[in-house]
Structure 1
Amino acid sequence: MATTRRSTRISATAGHDENKLGVNANGRVTRAKAAALDTQPITGQGTQSALVAKEVNGGQIKSRKRAALGDVSNVHKETGPGEKDVKQHAAKIVKTATSTNVSRSRASRAVNDGITDEEASVQIKKNGSTSVASGTRKRRAPLKPITIATAAQRAAKPRSKSSASSLVDETIDEEFSDGNKENEDPMLVDTAEKVSSESQDAVTNEPDKHEEAVHDWDDLDADEMDDPTMVAEYVNEIFDYMKELEIRTMPNPRYMDEQRDLQWKMRDILIDWLVEVHTKFRLLPETLFLAVNIVDRFLSLRVVTLDKLQLVGITGMFIAAKYEEVFSPSIQNFVYVADSGYTEEEILRAETFMLQVLDFNLSYPNPMNFLRRNSKADNYDIQTRTVAKYLMEIALLDHRFMRYYPSRVAATAMYLARVILERAPWDKNLIHYSGGYTEEMIEPVCNLMIDYLVKPVKHEAFFKKYASKRFLKASILARQWAKKRVEQIPLPSDLNIDSDEAEEQEST
């Protein structure tokens, strides 16, 4: 059933009329009538419209009908008795601004407080332009410059006919320089002319910086300029700095001569155990490279006994995990993998001591950083990269690679991985993005890697790690290829042999 709406009509004489004596239905005085009640009460009979305005002039009430909101603007506003003085004052302001060369905008802003924009513009037009017609003030001559301009330089100075200010400046310079010709130093003038001629010759002989340099490799970073994550704009400076850092963070390749209780084969056992710990914790490859670098650098600076060698290794891994990992294992985990051979306090004390010895310098550019750069020229081949990672970690376990820079180890690993997988030859792009390493520079390190591969397995944890499907069985593939290759092309006989192997050969 449709609801009926109650229609209520309120008459003009009802109590809800706010215009009647300024009192509403509740008997309260409205704000609209409060001021009227204070001056003079309005008496009248009948209805009054809400649109009727009242004006009080000399005690008489004058009513006029107008449109709603008609008195908001000043379009129909009549001139009041005090507005003539305001206009006269505004005209004086405009006249003063015109005579003192004040801009129209400033004059209009000064006038707008008293009159409208239209009246202000009329006053400005009556008084004329704001430019100075007469009585131009004479400009002061500027201070004497340090270098005196010669007549030839002034003649060669370009003039702009459209600019009056430039002509005035040149006239003042000429008058100033002509008045001081007697005081000019001929040696100073000749020197100024000579310097200006040499600078012009240097500008003409300078090569065009926008001209692209000619090179025999492809700029693979140009397509990544819009990608902020690749920092292609600074990539060359970054790797130049890393090439400097790898020199500073190199360990002593013969530090075992200073260790009384240690031998190289003990180090090999320690690093193989660290590889196993690294695999169990599933840490980043950078963590393993930094841990081994910390151990070697510390052993290069301090003599360590045999019972503290494992403490140095586990502490190096603990420091590297803190530096590289987002979520590093807790110290309790390292105590557990060390079979509780060391307490938490001993590991923490060893951490403090090792960092002090290394001067808190952990900025080691490991081979993984350079391998990522090399992979750009290799089109990011996942198989080549996996085999190269296996070959790079050989340099961690075999101390004979300690004398080579990480960038050279990474370039050699990429080169040998491409040879094993029968990829394209080592071209200009690979040479450039590997850091400038040619095949001749790579060959000695490559022979050491092949020599390691053809020998029996000494590091079981390392071999098993890369024999899994996760790493494409890279250790098995590389050893099979190395044995076939040595049968066809024997290795040179002048390879570096460590002292331990030399003793074993002598004994046999």
Structure 2
Amino acid sequence: MENMRSENHRGAAMEGVKLASEAAANTNRRALRDIKNILGAPHQPQAVSKRGLQEKPAAAGAKSQPSAVGHRPVTRKFAAILQQTQPANAPLAPIGSERQKRNADTAFNAPSDMECSKASDDDLDEMMTNELKEIDMEDTEEEEEEMPDIDSCDVGNSLAVVEYVDEIYSFYRRTEELSCVSPTYMAHQSDINEKMRGILIDWLIEVHYKLELLGETLFLTVNIIDRYLARENVARKKLQLVGVTAMLLACKYEEVSVPVVEDLILICDRAYSREDILDMERTIVDRLEFNMSVPTPYCFMRRFLKAAGSDKKLELLSFFLIELSLVDYKMLKFQPSMLAAAAIYTAQCTLNGCVSWSKCCELHTKYSEEQLMDCSRMMVELHRGAARGKLTGVHRKYSTFKYGCAAKSEPAAFLLDARRA
């Protein structure tokens, strides 16, 4: 039975070969074994090995060379290496059909599994390296720019306008020059001098204290006086009238409850009438073109104290120093923001007994310690002489318990010693 199956199978195979030969003869087709898939290659009756093409045998008499290809798959990188190592006078490979060229290009350009794996690993390493670099850069930037959020405590306070408080103070910094006056404007006054100005402001500080007015009112009063005196020549007998009228205007701008004109007449010991004060009021607002909204040192004091994380003691000492600066004519050469920053810096040095100026303070004030040093040393000099001389109104005010006896603190003399050294 087994022999019969073998014979039948063999017979069927022979019959199939015979039919295939007759069909090929009738259609003028060559047998599959006669087709050479690789043009110019020797006829290989066996199937192509999965290991790749074998090296072509060297011609007779030719010098044998070590195989550069071997069983390595032809990748794009390897092909480039072969092209560089091939001699310039090497014969070109024969050109086959278009289908052969497409097959050759596909095989030549297609990356191998090993190359794909290596490329994937390289891409992954590159991506991880870039991500690590980005993380390092972000960490570095965060370390450089990481500062405490001084407005986080006021997020729920609508009056703090946390959403655009930075824009407000940027506007103050751009416009603060408009509130400044020339530090030499007294040279154009014919009947008054800088000492008379100091006496007037020292007296107004006492009036401001007795009337229990807001801090903004005092600083705006002094600003109105200086801007008016810088534009108008004032007689000596009218200087006090300018002062009380400037305070009346500041009260109308800042206060909820404004002092009546009769109270100001009594404060001046009836030296001026109601008509005199109202006439001077019209003159001042006309000369200043109704511009009362200017950034004074007080505007910056509140912001900078917040950046310094101040307590009540630092706050009172800072205001003591800056009110001393209001009286002194020489301090007009500094801008309001610098006066505020220098007052806080000097107060910190006074309380700590050493130089104290944090990165947060420098970031928000935009003043370095070196920039503040000249103004701060002048404030130390004012602090040392506050209890002496005729202009002691600020010292008496800040010697009370209401103001924490801030005037009795020891001045930061080491800042002056550093200058001498």
TM-score (norm 2): 0.63
| 1:429 counterpart residue number | 360
In structure 2, how many angstroms separate the alpha carbons of the residues matched to 1:223 and 1:315?
A: 39
Structure 2 partner of 1:452 = 382
Identify the residue that residue 227 of structure 1 maps to in structure 2.
Answer: 157
Distance 1:223 1:450, change over 3 A: closer
Asked whether 1:348 is paired with 2:348, we answer no
| Alpha-carbon separation, structure 1, partners of 2:359 and 2:284 | 42
Deviations along 1:129-172, whole A, 9 cap, x unmatched?
A: xxxxxxxxxxxxxxxxxxxxxxxxxxxxxxxxxxxxxxxxxxxx
Between the aligned partners of 2:214 and 2:281, the Cα distance in structure 1 is 20
Give the Cα–Cα distance (whole angstroms) in 2 for the partners of residues 415 and 457 of structure 1: 26
Counterpart of 1:421 in 2: which secondary structure?
helix
1:319 to 249, 254, 265: 249
Q: Structure 2 CA distance, aligned partners of 1:490 and 1:419?
A: 13
Match in the other structure for 2:320: 390
1:470 aligned to which of 389, 402, 415: 402
> Quick check: 2:192–2:235 contact (8 Å CA) kept in 1?
yes
Query: What secondary structure does 1:327 align onto?
Result: coil
Distance 2:276 2:157 in 1: 46
**Which residue of the partner structure matches residue 59 of structure 1?**
none
- Cα drift, residue 427 of structure 1: 1.3
TM-fit CA distance, 1:403: 1.4
Deviation, structure 1 residue 321? 1.0
Letter in 1 for 2:287: V
Give 1:425 shift. Answer: 2.7
| Aligned-partner SS, 1:408 | helix
- Counterparts of residues 394-405 of structure 1 (less than 5 Å): 394-405=324-335
Q: Deviations over 1:56-96 (max 9, x none)?
A: xxxxxxxxxxxxxxxxxxxxxxxxxxxxxxxxxxxxxxxxx
Deviations, residues 193-212 of structure 1 (Å, cap 9, x unaligned): xxxxxxxxxxxxxx9xxx99
Q: How do 1:485-500 residues align onto structure 2 when only pairs under 5 Å count?
A: 485=414, 489=417, 491-492=419-420
| 5+ long unaligned stretches in structure 1 | 1-206, 494-508
Q: Given the alignment, which residue of 218, 221, 226 partners 1:296?
A: 226
One-letter amino acid of the counterpart of residue 273, structure 2:
T
Instruction: Indicate conservation of the 8 Å contact 1:290/1:366, yes or no.
Output: yes
Q: 1:281 is matched with which residue? A: 211
Q: Which residue does the alignment assign to 1:261? A: 191
Q: How does 1:24-423 map to 2 (within 5 A)?
A: 214=142, 215-222=145-152, 224-422=154-352
Alpha-carbon distance change, 492 to 400 in structure 1, aligned in 2, over 3 angstroms: farther
What amino acid maps onto 2:363 in structure 1? H
Letter in 2 for 1:428: K
Structure 1 position 491, deviation (Å): 4.9
Which residue number corresponds to residue 134 of structure 1?
none
Tell me which protein shows more helix as a share of its residues.
2
Does the CA contact (< 8 Å) of 1:457 and 1:463 recur in 2?
Answer: no
Give aligned-pair identity as a percent. 35
Runs of 4+ residues deviating >6 angstroms:
none
Cα distance in 2 for residues equivalent to 1:297 and 1:308: 16
Contact 1:271 1:292 in 2 (8 A): yes
Supply the distance in 2 between the matched residues of 1:346 and 1:444 (Cα, whole angstroms).
41
> Whose RCO is larger (CA < 8 A, sep 6+)?
2
Contact 1:390 1:466 in 2 (8 A): yes
State the one-letter code of the partner of 2:417.
I
Specify the code of the residue in structure 1 equivalent to 2:359.
K
Tell me, yes or no, if the aligned pair for 2:384 and 2:411 is still in contact at 8 Å.
no
1:345-395: CA deviations, max 9, x gaps? 010000001000000001122222212112222324111001001011111
Count the aligned residue pairs.
Answer: 279
Distance in 2 separating the partners of 1:328 and 1:385: 26
Q: Which residue of 2 aligns with 1:184?
A: none
Partner of 2:64: none
Asked if the contact 2:380/2:411 (under 8 Å) is kept, the reply is no
Match of 2:326, as an amino acid? Answer: L
Q: Contact between 2:324 and 2:383, CA under 8 Å: does it hold in 1?
A: no
Question: Could you report, residue by residue, the CA deviation over 1:414-470 in whole angstroms, capped at 9, with x for unpaired residues?
Answer: 11111111188311111122x211100110100111122223344122211111111
Decide whether the 8 Å contact of 2:325 with 2:382 is kept in 1.
Answer: no
**Alignment match, 1:32:** none
- Is the contact made by 2:179 and 2:294 (CA closer than 8 Å) also made in structure 1? yes
Instruction: Name the SS of the counterpart of 1:341 in structure 2.
Output: coil
Q: Once superposed, what is the RMSD of the aligned Cα atoms?
A: 2.2
Letter of the structure 2 residue corresponding to residue 306 of structure 1: R
- Give deviations 1:87-140, integer Å, cap 9, x for gaps: xxxxxxxxxxxxxxxxxxxxxxxxxxxxxxxxxxxxxxxxxxxxxxxxxxxxxx
